[in-house]
């Protein structure tokens, strides 16, 4: 439930009202100072609260019921866009954030060379998996801790904040000092123990949509992290499984505007896993920007033919650089920058 407060309500009263309601009705009451209005969002079992008791508070302008099961992620709770800070990079502003790098960190020289080239082309974040969740146990599983060391070195060298996937709640401590944002992959979107653990920290999370999960389920997974107190969540559409076999997955482009209307959280698109084919990364990237994505996560490899994972969908640094130019043109056409 949401209490919309009258304009001019003092901060002191907002905090008094919030603590009073939280105590009396055993719910969480969170003041949110928006550009249009100040509201207090109530989360918990609000069904037993007698509405008259809230309506009589002189500062309350109106009460709004939030029907959706996601509350903290709901745009009704937070009408302004949330801006997530990843190192120095702000995600969720008019400036679209491009994150690029290999599927997996394979060696020190590989990640260093890719980091330098994508940074030179204008990427502002580096990706690279150290723990790889693979369909086959016989496939390359990632360099693990060694990969994290190389990512840190690439971060130090280029200044690019680093995103890397976490596959297990026990990896939080190990990864904490080596990554700037934790990625939760499609396969772990509903690993609720992992989500709860990530709710206890304050580092940003890039939460990817599971390939068989609805938009509402994605938002409920974000809610798991946010209800633990970590509001720094970026959502990522990365393609869903359909009957279509021409592409690895089907990019649900409409998920971008749908998510932007339902939630205040920033929305990324991953055109690489969505298509599985390097030749489709350009059109899908341009479409994602046109549809309103706040950022893209793109796989780039110095030698795609010999990549240890996802070579087929990886761009060479040169192709990536040409794509950056086209993305800037589309961004400009819709009043944004890259
Ligand atoms: C990845 O980013 O390398 C990855 C495995 O992505 P997803 O979880 O979307 O499949
Ligand atoms: Mn990959």
pLDDT confidence band for 320 (50 / 70 / 90)? very high
Of 142, 286, 263, 146, the residue nearest 207 (C-alpha)? 263
- Ligand closest to 127 (CA) is 1
Tokens of 165: 């996937």
- Ligand closest to 268 (CA) is 1
Return the percentage of the chain with pLDDT > 90, whole number: 98
How many Cβ atoms from other residues are within 10 Å of residue 289's Cβ? 26
Mean pLDDT of 314-328: 98
In this structure, which residue's CA is closest to atom 6 in ligand 1? 185
In this structure, which residue's CA is closest to atom 4 in ligand 1? 185
In this structure, which residue's CA is closest to atom 8 in ligand 1? 185
Mean pLDDT of 11-22: 96
pLDDT at 59: 96
Name the DSSP letter for residue 139: S
Ligand 1 atom with the smallest distance to the CA of 127 is: 2
With H, G, I as helix, E, B as strand and everything else as coil, classify residue 121.
Answer: helix
* CA distance linking residue 143 with residue 149, whole number of Å: 10
- 310: CA distance to ligand 2 center in Å? 5
pLDDT at 170: 96
pLDDT at 279: 98
Residues 87-146: pLDDT tens digits?
A: 999 999 999 999 999 999 999 999 999 999 999 999 999 999 999 999 999 999 999 999
CATH fold, domain 2-64, is Alpha-Beta Plaits (3.30.70)
Residue to substitute in 140, 183, 268 for testing ligand 1 pocket (most ligand atoms within 8 angstroms of CB):
183
pLDDT at 52: 94
Q: Where in the chain is the domain with CATH 3.20.20.70?
A: 84-333
> Which residues are in the CB-under-5-Å shell of ion ligand 2?
103, 310
Ligand 1 pocket, CB under 6 A: 103, 129, 185-187, 208, 238, 270, 273
pLDDT at 284: 98
Residues 172-225: pLDDT tens digits?
A: 999 999 999 999 999 999 999 999 999 999 999 999 999 999 999 999 999 999
- Ligand closest to 239 (CA) is 1
Contact 215, 255 (CB under 8 A): yes
Residues 48-88: pLDDT tens digits?
A: 899 999 999 999 999 999 999 999 999 999 999 999 999 99
pLDDT averaged over the chain?
Answer: 97
* CA distance linking residue 108 with residue 271, whole number of Å: 26
Ligand 1 atom with the smallest distance to the CA of 270 is: 9
Mean pLDDT of 245-253: 98
In the chain, the N- to C-terminal Cα span, in Å, equals: 37
- CATH architecture for the domain at 84-333: Alpha-Beta Barrel (3.20)
Spell out the residues 6+ positions from residue 6 whose beta carbon is closer than 8 angstroms to its own: 59, 60, 61
Q: Where in the chain is the domain with CATH 3.30.70.1140?
A: 2-64
Q: Which helix (H) or strand (E) holds 223?
A: helix 215-227
In this structure, which residue's CA is closest to atom 5 in ligand 1? 185
* CA distance linking residue 131 with residue 2, whole number of Å: 41
Tokens of 153: 């070195």
Contact 263, 246 (CB under 8 A): no
Contact 269, 236 (CB under 8 A): yes
* CA distance linking residue 215 with residue 43, whole number of Å: 21
């Amino acid at each position: 439930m949401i209490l919309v407060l009258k304009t001019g309500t003092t901060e002191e009263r907002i905090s008094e009202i919030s603590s009073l309601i939280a105590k009396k009705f055993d719910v969480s009451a969170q003041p949110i100072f928006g550009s249009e209005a100040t509201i207090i969002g109530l989360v918990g079992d609000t069904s037993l609260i007698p509405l008259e008791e809230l309506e009589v508070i002189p500062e309350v302008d109106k009460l709004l019921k939030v029907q959706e099961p996601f509350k903290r992620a709901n745009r009704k709770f937070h009408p302004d866009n949330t801006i997530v800070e990843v190192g120095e990079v702000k995600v969720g502003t008019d400036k679209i954030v491009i994150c690029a790098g290999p599927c997996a960190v394979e060696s020190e020289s590989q990640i260093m060379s890719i980091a330098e080239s994508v940074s030179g082309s204008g990427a502002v974040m580096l990706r690279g998996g150290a723990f790889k969740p693979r369909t086959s146990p016989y496939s390359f599983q990632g360099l693990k801790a060694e990969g994290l060391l190389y990512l840190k070195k690439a971060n130090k060298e280029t200044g690019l904040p680093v995103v890397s996937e976490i596959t297990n709640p026990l990896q939080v401590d190990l990864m904490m000092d080596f990554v700037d944002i934790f990625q939760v992959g499609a396969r772990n979107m509903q690993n609720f123990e992992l989500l709860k653990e990530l709710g206890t920290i304050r580092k940003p999370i890039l939460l990817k949509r599971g390939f068989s999960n609805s938009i509402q389920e994605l938002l409920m997974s974000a809610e798991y992290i946010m209800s633990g107190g970590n509001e720094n969540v970026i959502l990522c559409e990365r393609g869903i499984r359909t009957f279509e076999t021409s592409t690895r997955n089907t990019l649900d482009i409409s998920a971008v505007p749908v998510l932007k209307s339902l939630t205040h959280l920033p929305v990324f698109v991953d055109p690489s896993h969505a298509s599985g084919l390097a030749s489709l990364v350009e059109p899908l990237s341009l479409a994602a920007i046109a549809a309103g994505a706040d950022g893209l996560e793109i796989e780039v490899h110095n030698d795609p033919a010999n990549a240890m994972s996802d070579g087929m969908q990886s761009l060479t640094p040169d192709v990536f650089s040409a794509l950056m130019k086209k993305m800037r043109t589309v961004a400009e056409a819709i009043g944004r920058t890259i």
